[in-house]
Amino acid sequence: MCIFCKIIEGEIPNKTVLENDNFLAFEDISPQAKIHVLIIPKVHIQSFNEMTPNIMAEMTSFIQEVALTLGVKSDGYRLITNIGQNGGQEVGHVHFHLLAGEQLGSIN
Ligand code: AMP
């Protein structure tokens, strides 16, 4: 079982921000910004490459809800999903990083 599936199962503790039947948002263990939250589907999907339009549509609504819950929706935030080796993906369970809470640097 992958590390994020273990988090979903409660085998590894997490700091939950928001949860519903299909998705979980929790604090990244090694934050890269004042606010750094990971958003994952509860079903195991390797990466964005394997996402379906239906799951992505539901996840879009959930991510917007997470931004509202964190109070960052109007000030802004950054979403990142790393895909595969060249994308720097370390955990093989699709996740979106939500970074916020400060002026973020340029990604260029
Ligand atoms: P990525 O490099 O895009 O695969 O990102 C994986 C992220 O998972 C990194 O930002 C890690 O800090 C984070 N991470 C790994 N293990 C945990 C954990 N147990 N709880 C919270 N975040 C984690």
> Nearest residue CA, atom 16 of ligand 1?
29
Instruction: Render each residue's pLDDT in the chain as its tens digit; 108 residues.
Output: 999 999 999 999 999 999 999 999 999 999 999 999 999 999 999 999 999 999 999 999 999 999 999 999 999 999 999 999 999 999 999 999 999 999 999 987
pTM: 0.98
Residue 36 appears among annotated catalytic residues: no
Q: What is the rounded CA–CA span in Å between residue 66 and residue 49?
A: 23
Q: Which of 92, 90, 16 lies closest to 48, judged by CA?
A: 92
**The pairing of beta strand 35-41 with beta strand 78-80:** unpaired
108/87 Cα distance (integer angstroms):
15
- List residues near ligand 1 (CB under 6 A): 3, 12, 14, 28-30, 38, 82, 88-91
